[in-house]
């Protein structure tokens, strides 16, 4: 995302991925790490702001958005359009940021975006947006969260062929960690519960609660 942000050919970015994999948290972290102001619109909480994007006049759209958010939109501000699936006009308007206001970094995301794209009624901004897929947490990410740098290095050395095999002791430990990872899954909330509970019983109960909350909702 930092490479996207600093690219001279940057387009508005659309983050795709399953629910609860951390798309919104990732955008907020990017703004914080890069010292950018964050102008955030959540179309579920602020549905009236969708009207700003329906006129199709780029300059007027930016002006009205600045007034609504009370923040200047420029190269030092990251515009985050969250739950963008709730506004067809906002998603279609991403093309105008690319064509008329490329200096403004724009990220769009939505927890139900995958379903909405299949039923999108307006003109898709083909060639004017960048799509990125945010996957669940990987096994390597899990090892980082567990501070298992030695095991992570063993995998890396094997993949890069610095070592011809993973030694039995490391292999046994990796199988044990893999079993925990398969049980936990890749959802950040479940992973957070897992890495803050050392005992298996405590971890299993907390992770089961997190899984239940996500599945039921």
Angle subtended at Cα 29 by Cα 25 and Cα 33, rounded to the nearest 5 degrees:
175
**Number of Cβ within a 10 Å radius of residue 4:** 16
Report the pLDDT averaged over residues 41-70: 89
For the chain, give every domain's residue range: 2-133, 139-216
Would you say 9 and 127 are in contact if contact means Cβ atoms under 8 Å apart? no
157-169: pLDDT as tens digits: 888 887 778 888 8
Assign a CATH topology to domain 2-133.
Rossmann fold (3.40.50)
Nearest-angstrom CA–CA distance, 129 and 106: 10
- Return the H-helix or E-strand segment holding 42: strand 37-42
73-94: pLDDT as tens digits: 999 999 999 988 888 888 888 8
Nearest-angstrom CA–CA distance, 146 and 28: 24
CA within 13 Å, CB half, 156: 10
Q: What is the pTM of this model?
A: 0.77
Phi, psi of 38 (to 5 degrees): -115, 120
């Amino acid at each position: 995302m930092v490479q996207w942000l600093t690219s001279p050919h940057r387009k508005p970015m659309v983050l795709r991925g399953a629910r609860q994999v951390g798309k919104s948290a990732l955008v907020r972290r990017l703004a914080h790490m890069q010292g950018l102001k964050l102008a955030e619109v959540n179309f579920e909480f602020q549905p009236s702001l969708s009207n700003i994007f329906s006129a199709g006049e780029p300059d007027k759209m930016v002006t009205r958005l600045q007034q609504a958010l009370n923040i200047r939109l420029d190269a030092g501000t990251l515009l985050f359009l969250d739950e963008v699936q709730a506004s067809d006009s906002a998603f279609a308007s991403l093309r105008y940021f690319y064509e008329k206001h490329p200096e403004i970094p724009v990220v769009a995301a939505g927890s139900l975006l995958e379903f909405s794209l299949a039923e999108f009624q307006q003109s898709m901004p083909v060639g004017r947006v960048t799509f990125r897929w945010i996957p669940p947490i990987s096994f390597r990410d899990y090892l980082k969260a567990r501070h298992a740098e030695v095991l992570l290095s063993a995998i890396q050395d094997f993949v890069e062929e610095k070592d011809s095999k993973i030694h039995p002791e490391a292999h046994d430990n990796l199988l044990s960690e893999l079993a925990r990872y398969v049980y936990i899954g890749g959802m950040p909330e479940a992973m957070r519960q897992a890495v803050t509970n050392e005992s298996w019983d405590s971890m299993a109960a907390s992770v089961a609660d997190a899984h239940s909350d996500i599945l039921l909702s």
